[in-house]
Amino acid sequence: MKRTIVGLLLVGCAWEGAANAAQPAGATCDRECLRGKVTQLLYALVKHDVSGLAVADTLRVTEDAVEKPLAQVGLVGTVTRLRGFRQDIIDERAGVAVAHVVVEETGAPVLLVVRLKVLADKLTEIELVATRSRAEGLIFNIDGLSAPSAVMNYAPRPEQLATRDEAIKAALHYPEGLNAAKTFAAVNAPFASDAYRYENGQVMAGPDCKFAPGCQNISTQSLTIFQRLGDLQTRVIAVDERMGIVLLRMAWGVRERGGDQLTVWEAFKVYDRQIHAVEAFMRILPIEKRNGGWQEAATK
């Protein structure tokens, strides 16, 4: 028992040391601090009062890719409740926290992406993207978003985790496949045999998929439908090195009817040198807002 306790303490110390080493010089916000910043913002939205948030003088805010003062964000006046779904991606090295959240506006569900950047314990960047309907997101399956998934929240052992660069490389096989291949297998994307993909709460690939013939295997699922969407712009938004999650923001270049195009916040669960899950929130945005106004916010 003593050896077991000592072993657990050593593992805990190793993670603490790694986390501290990963933080940039001058950083004061660790993993729980970053998670807490997301919580503070969400409760401020529910209370319709953001005046108590610790923000930098240089704070920059966008809502659905439109820059505006924090107090003028529409969600500040409309969010009435938080639901049970929240998936955090915490990047201590970059001082970035991202969350896929389900909130309510007077009883109506909203899929919300929150991205925060923190420096010296103050918010320097806030990015919010809300999807309120199938018309806004192509898919809108609230029943599939009652709680965060067990797979995405499995905490891999240290030896199971890839390095930051290795995890990013694995995730980037995904846009490579969408851009240039008929299947992910053609670009050697390292999917586990039981890997799945959720989009706005709907299973779109994996063993439980019923969306289309062949969707049960994400590696061999046909990708030809994406070819008509044109070139794919990809940014690395955050890397949760402790949980093995890489978040990419992807947007296509072909103008759809109405002048809009698809933007996807795609989270990849990477451990044991494989991608085990892909979970995304999606939103249709004007093609002119393709980069969301945050092209300089790419994190590698």
For 95-119, write each residue's pLDDT tens digit: 999 999 999 999 999 999 999 999 9
Which range (25-29, 52-56, 124-128, 142-146) has the least confidence? 25-29
Among 9-18, 63-72, 194-203, the range scoring the smallest mean pLDDT is: 9-18
Shared domain check, 248 and 223: yes
Q: Are 116 and 38 in contact (CB under 8 A)?
A: yes
CATH code at 174?
A: 3.10.450.50
Q: Which pair of tokens denotes residue 144?
A: 């599939």
C-alpha 222/C-alpha 213 separation (Å) is 9
Q: Examine residue 236 and state whether it is found in any structural domain, yes or no.
A: yes
pLDDT at residue number 288: 79
- 1 pLDDT higher than 80: no
Residue 21 lies in a domain: no
Amino acid at 246: V
* Greatest alpha-carbon span in the chain: 66
Q: Same structural domain for residues 126 and 201?
A: no
Q: Looking at the structure, tell me whether residues 273 and 179 fall in a common domain.
A: yes
Examine the pLDDT at 26 and tell me if it is beyond 90. no
- Residue 112, sorted as left (phi over 0), alpha (psi -120 to 50) or beta, turns out to be beta
The tokens of 230 are what? Answer: 């044109």
Q: SS3 string of 249-273?
A: EEEECCCCCCCEEEEEEEEEEEECC
Per-residue model confidence (pLDDT) at position 220: 96
Structure tokens at 270: 């990477």
**Residue 279 domain boundaries:** 158-297
SS3 263: strand
pTM: 0.89
Q: For 124-128, 160-164, 287-291, which range has the lowest pLDDT when averaged over its residues?
A: 287-291
- Residue 240 located in a structural domain: yes
Sheet harboring 122-131: ordered strands across?
66-67, 55-63, 122-131, 108-119, 96-105, 81-91
Let me know if residue 78 belongs to a domain. Answer: yes
Contacts of 218 (CB under 8 A, 6+ apart): 184, 191, 195, 196, 197, 205, 206, 278
180 inside domain: yes
Residue 151 lies in a domain: no
How confident is residue 180, by pLDDT bands cut at 50, 70 and 90? confident
**Among 292, 290, 251, which Cα is nearest to 60's?**
292
Residues 138 and 162 in one domain: no
Decide if 9 is inside a domain.
Answer: no
User: Where do the H-state alpha helices sit in the chain?
Assistant: 2-22, 31-47, 74-78, 134-137, 164-180
pLDDT beyond 50 at 6: no
Residue 9: its pLDDT value, please?
41
Cα 112 to its chain centre, rounded Å, is 10
Length of the chain: 300
| Domain co-membership, 273 together with 175 | yes
- Number of domain units in the chain: 2
User: Sorting pLDDT into bands at 50, 70 and 90, what band is 286?
Assistant: confident
3-state helix, strand, coil in the chain (%, to 5): 30, 35, 35
- Do 288 and 170 have their domain in common? yes
Average pLDDT over residues 152-169: 98
Check pLDDT > 60 for residue 15: no
Contacts of 25 (CB under 8 A, 6+ apart): none
pLDDT tens string 38-51: 999 999 999 999 99
Instruction: Provide the mean pLDDT of the chain.
Output: 89
Cα separation, 280 vs 245, whole angstroms: 12
Could you give the CA distance from residue 99 to residue 37 in angstroms, rounded to a whole number? 11
Question: In the beta sheet, which residues pair with residue 114?
Answer: 99, 128
Q: Is 194 helix (H, G, I), strand (E, B) or coil?
A: strand
Q: What is the per-residue pLDDT for 73?
A: 98
